[in-house]
Amino acid sequence: MTDQDLIQGLLNREEDAYRSLVDQFQVPVYNTILGLVQSEPDAEDLAQEVFIQVFRSIHQFKGEAKLSTWIYRIATTKSIDFIRSKKSKKRFAFLYRLGAPGDKEHVAIPDFHHPGVVSERKEQAAQLFQAIAQLPENQKTAFILTRLEQLPHAAVAEIMGITIPAVESLLHRGCINLKKLLDKKM
């Protein structure tokens, strides 16, 4: 089924088109979200929300970009929004704990084991993902789309709405930051 057929089917609210879209994009959407949010239940929930948003707003798709680009854009935006809301909740919880006497427990970033990593490299990958989680949003997005999703720089640029040199710069700065973060661990 071509993009055009798929879009037409979605506009006609055909069950086959819905199924076909989810079947075609579930892996890239879930994989991208999982790389960004680093939690399997959250990634599953967000991936479902991405498809529901695609179904509901397909009439807003103008066809200026590829359908996959548009879907990736929704997935990354939703993931970043989720991370932001989680961070603000954590901040609020931290402030709340400051008020409570005698509890100075440090909240560490939980270990995340990506299911696709080969078993011999699981430990190193977990530390790398912990460092990725600490990167700024745009560097993290560029890194995940390039290294985890293995998308070309041009596609990443289109998804993020920036130029190819800007993507390369984000990746360069991201790698430097990752090296610094990993340095601290060693």
Partner 1 sequence: MSIMHNQEDFFASLEGIRPAEPKPFFTSRVLNRFRKYEEESTASVLTRMGWAVTLLIILIIGNGFLLYSSSRSNDQAINKWRSTTPRWVVEYTEHPGTSVYDLPKP
Binding site for partner 1 (CB under 8 A): 15, 18-19, 22-23, 26-28, 30-31, 34, 40, 43-44, 47-48, 51-52, 55, 114-118, 121, 124-125, 127-128, 131, 147-149, 175, 178-179, 182-183, 186
Q: How far is the CB of 149 from partner 1 (least distance, A)?
A: 8
Q: Which is nearer to partner 1, 27 or 154 (CB)?
A: 27
C-alpha dist (Å) from residue 100 to 105, 107, 109: 11, 15, 22
Q: How far is the CB of 22 from partner 1 (least distance, A)?
A: 4
Q: Which is nearer to partner 1, 30 or 70 (CB)?
A: 30
Q: Which is nearer to partner 1, 60 or 95 (CB)?
A: 60
Q: How far is the CB of 61 from partner 1 (least distance, A)?
A: 17
Q: Which is nearer to partner 1, 116 or 161 (CB)?
A: 116
CA dihedral 20→22→23→28, nearest 10 degrees, is 130
Which H or E run contains 92? helix 67-99
Question: What's the rounded Cα separation, in Å, for the pair 18 and 57?
Answer: 13
Q: How far is the CB of 97 from partner 1 (least distance, A)?
A: 32
Instruction: For residue 56, report the phi and psi dihedrals to the nearest 5 degrees.
Output: -75, -30
- Asked if residue 42 lies in contact with residue 79, where contact means CB atoms within 8 angstroms, the answer is no
Q: How far is the CB of 147 from partner 1 (least distance, A)?
A: 5
Q: How far is the CB of 94 from partner 1 (least distance, A)?
A: 29
Q: Which is nearer to partner 1, 64 or 183 (CB)?
A: 183
Instruction: For residue 167, report the phi and psi dihedrals to the nearest 5 degrees.
Output: -65, -45
Question: What's the rounded Cα separation, in Å, for the pair 19 and 132?
Answer: 33
Question: What's the rounded Cα separation, in Å, for the pair 142 and 132?
Answer: 11
Q: Which is nearer to partner 1, 56 or 91 (CB)?
A: 56
**Length of the chain counted residue by residue:** 186
